[in-house]
Chains A and B, each alone.
Chain A
């Protein structure tokens, strides 16, 4: 276990000094959260973030062809690079009311925790480091990554890691919720969209003609019959379903979105193959066109439980009396893992009504969450711990 006592000792001071910047941090959360930013429509939020980067005199403030926001806090030595990433997109459509409410104990509004808080923390980081008098030796690359969620398939970060010439020592993915969250490994995953369509020449008078909703139900029942092992752990998550247009007209189209997840990449592939067979079989006896599209794919990997970075992250949380909740991730972290870059995903505060329009994040824990981030940057900046 690495000796980071000197960093742990500073956590209390960090928390109280970060609290002094409450106004600035809250204003950033509100202003970022009120800019709608659906996946593939992040431009306005990214521009706001770039303005903040420029105001803070970051170097190389720029966007790229995937619409990421990038800026660099130059390090004292500048021979290493640490990436701090927050995804700028959220699951809500731009047409919904993005007004954020501010109360003494909490902020609420759509996407406030996922991930306006994460982006606002990245936007505030130059001010926070300056206020704490921390001058990292490494360059700190700040990134608001675009095209992260759903169909975005973390395209923004993957693009940067593919094209960037800079070697990255480590990455920290900043999520608004939930404080205590620690992810340092990715599970295997295939994200699918299954579409049932009645062909134009379909004979609705034929015996057993039932429409796409019943067909997709049949596919789901068959998927649920697939035996899944307890080890390696594996599950199939049905995320959304839609189809049909009225009460009594048979549906001509239905869509199911789901993910296959497992600690074993082989298991994910096996289950995917079985689902492919099911769709072919159901298609053949219903006469409907069933297509199965893969929208995203992750391979298992990541750093070990005993890696100095994961160990340090647990020590930091324990020092703040926060119980670590360790879970694998399929988000930004997977892009770092695919490039063999040690990385962590952390959460910043506690939440209520998660993923709802009135999602509520608590203000006080935010300062612990950010202190955790600062301590991790210091741990990585030492270099010797990560390279141990």
Chain B
């Protein structure tokens, strides 16, 4: 599929799917089960609203979601208490697959959701969204429900101000525009058509999730796109415009750490796919600087992009899958 055709045919707006009755009828016709996972770490300010809105609108009022879980990395605030007080199923990531050495990172929670949840489709939503709305979920799962060929649906936000010869301008963030999109343009030009490759909201079929590795840190979204593209091609993707997303802004220093993690996952894939050869041994320490008057001090951050293997290589998962009849 050519990039322009893909953008034209597989880029949606959430309002395309606002007829929830029709969507649910199609979901039931196809016998699909949908699980919603929210990975959390210290999100007590926003998690309550996500739980209330999704449970009320997409589980009680409309039966779109069959299962809804919070998977927490060990929050030190009241995230787990707040979520549970509004009726959510809350899991501590380290309690899932306890025989494995626990790792800390968002990707770990996403990966463990594959084991814990039973849906044919899992939709992941970040916990820090202030303006949460049911569209965040139905806009992402609908392309999977309506189109069997689609396997991975990614969110994007912010309406572009203008159209340029039919191609929408990007609404990506800083790391997307100065790192990820240039890298994709160099090595995987098709993936440069994904407007917000780093958005934390996506819906994916189980058959895809269980077959790809999961970096546990910053590289998880980037590596997903490359791995799914390598295995199933561009036509497996779709993307949905969810309008505005209000969330806290990250300081530039944190973006540096994010870029460092993404680069590790990206370069590892280039090497695995033999797109570059003889990579030198890379360091995993990011140096940043703090300045006080005229004194500059280097601060080292160790950022290791540990990767979980595809879930379908974990014996406990294969056993659970058999038990649950998935």
Selecting from A99-107, A263-271, A317-325, A365-373, the interface stretch reads A99-107
Q: Is B276 an interface residue (CB 8 A)?
A: no
Judge whether B60 and A24 touch: CB under 8 Å: yes
Q: Which residues of A contact B55 (CB under 8 A)?
A: 23, 27
Which of A30, A97, A99 has a CB less than 8 Å from the CB of B52? A30
Residue of A nearest to B55 (CB): A23
Produce 1/0 per residue, B35-68, CB < 8 A to A.
0000000000110110011011100110000000
A101 and B60 in contact, given A23-B55, A34-B131 (Cβ under 8 angstroms) = no
Q: Which residues of chain A come closer than 8 Å to B86, judged between CB atoms? A: 23, 102, 104
Contact (Cβ within 8 A) A23 B87: yes
Please measure, in the bound complex, the distance between the C-alpha atom of A27 and the C-alpha atom of B46, giving whole angstroms.
14
A18-64 residues with Cβ-Cβ distance < 8 A to B are 23-24, 26-28, 30-31, 34, 55
Q: B299 on the interface (CB 8 Å rule)? A: no
At the interface, yes or no: B185 with Cβ under 8 Å from chain A? no
Q: Quote the shortest CB–CB distance from B77 to chain A (angstroms).
A: 12
Give Cα A101–Cα B87 distance, bound, in whole angstroms: 17
Q: Are B53 and A27 in contact (CB under 8 A)?
A: yes
Distance (Å) between the CB of B119 and the closest chain A CB?
21
A205 to chain B, nearest CB (A): 49
Chain B neighbourhood of A27, CB < 8 A: 52-53, 55-57
B246 proximal to A (CB < 8 A): yes
| B169 CB–A CB distance under 8 Å | no
Check if A55 sits within 8 Å of B131, measured CB to CB. no
The reply to whether the CB of B220 lies closer than 8 angstroms to some CB of chain A is: no
Give chain A nearest CB distance to B137 CB in angstroms.
13
Whether A99 lies near B131 (C-beta < 8 A) is yes
Given A55-B61, A99-B131, verify A23-B82 contact (CB < 8 Å).
no
Chain A contact patch, size range: 10 to 19
A26 to chain B, nearest CB (A): 5
B residues less than 8 Å from A24 (CB atoms): 56, 60-61
* Partner pick for A104 among B53, B57, B60, B85, CB 8 A cutoff: B85
- Establish whether residues A30 and B49, one from each chain, have CB atoms under 8 Å apart when the complex forms: yes
A23 near B56: Cβ-Cβ < 8 Å: yes
- A23-B55, A23-B60, A34-B131 are known contacts. Are A104 and B48 too (CB-CB below 8 A)? yes
Given A23-B87, A26-B56, does the pair A101, B61 have CB atoms closer than 8 Å?
A: no
B82's contact among A99, A100, A103, by CB below 8 Å, is which?
A: A103
CB distance from B75 to the nearest CB of A (A): 15
Chain A residues closer than 8 Å to B61, beta-carbon distance = 24, 55
Q: Which of A28, A31, A99, A104 contacts B246 (CB 8 A)?
A: A99
A28: B residues at CB distance < 8 A: 56
Judged by a CB distance under 8 angstroms, whether B130 is at the interface is yes
A28 to B53 Cα, complex, angstroms: 9
Q: Which residues of B contact A97 (CB under 8 A)?
A: 246
* Cross-chain contact B82 with A104 (CB below 8 angstroms): yes
B246 in contact with A101 (CB, 8 Å): no
What is the bound-complex CA distance between A26 and B52, given in angstroms?
Answer: 7
Residues of the A chain whose Cβ atoms lie less than 8 Å from the Cβ of B49 = 30, 100-102
Contact with B along A158-170 (1 / 0, CB 8 A): 0000000000000
Q: How far is the CB of B247 from chain A (nearest CB, A)?
A: 11
CA distance A375 to B45 in the complex (A): 35
Q: With A23-B86, A24-B61 given, is the CB distance from A102 to B48 under 8 Å?
A: yes
With contact pairs A23-B86, A24-B61, A34-B131 given, residues A103 and B56 touching in the complex (Cβ less than 8 Å) = no
> Mind listing 9 A-B residue pairs with CB under 8 Å?
A23-B52, A23-B60, A26-B52, A27-B55, A30-B49, A30-B52, A55-B61, A102-B49, A102-B86
Q: State the B residues within 8 Å of A (CB).
A: 45-46, 48-49, 52-53, 55-57, 60-61, 81-82, 85-87, 130-131, 133, 246
Give 16 new A-B contacts, CB below 8 A, not counting A97-B246, A99-B131: A23-B87, A24-B56, A26-B56, A27-B52, A27-B57, A30-B52, A30-B53, A31-B133, A99-B246, A100-B49, A102-B48, A102-B52, A103-B48, A103-B82, A104-B48, A104-B86
